[in-house]
Amino acid sequence: MPEIRFQIELPDRSQTTCYSPSLIVKEYFTPGSEYALTDFIERSRTALHIASDRVRAKYGSPCGLALGQLAQIEAMAERYSQVKEPKVRLIKFIE
């Protein structure tokens, strides 16, 4: 199963790299695009759950790394809850 990483810029302009065990994230994000934080979280939830389900279908159990990445994204979002109109930019995919 092809895995992928994607580099994002957070509302405070810091950057981090996220992980997906599936290329499905390419269907939900576009490099260079900016997303409202709530939209980014929803897209991440959908894509990473699909990715985890694909791992479950192939190997018999969900992908802990995908679900862990989602938990990190959700925790990150809480740090920016007081920022007015927070945005997340997808910088690039790393294959």
Dump pLDDT digits (tens) for 41-95: 999 999 999 999 999 999 999 999 999 999 999 999 999 989 999 999 999 999 9
Grouping H, G, I as helix, E, B as strand and the rest as coil, residue 3 is: coil
Strand partners, 20: 4
Contact present, 19 and 47 (Cβ < 8 Å): no
Over residues 3-24, the mean pLDDT reads 97
Largest interatomic CA distance in the chain: 42
Q: How many domains does one find in the chain?
A: 1
Instruction: Look up the domain containing 59 and give its range.
Output: 4-94
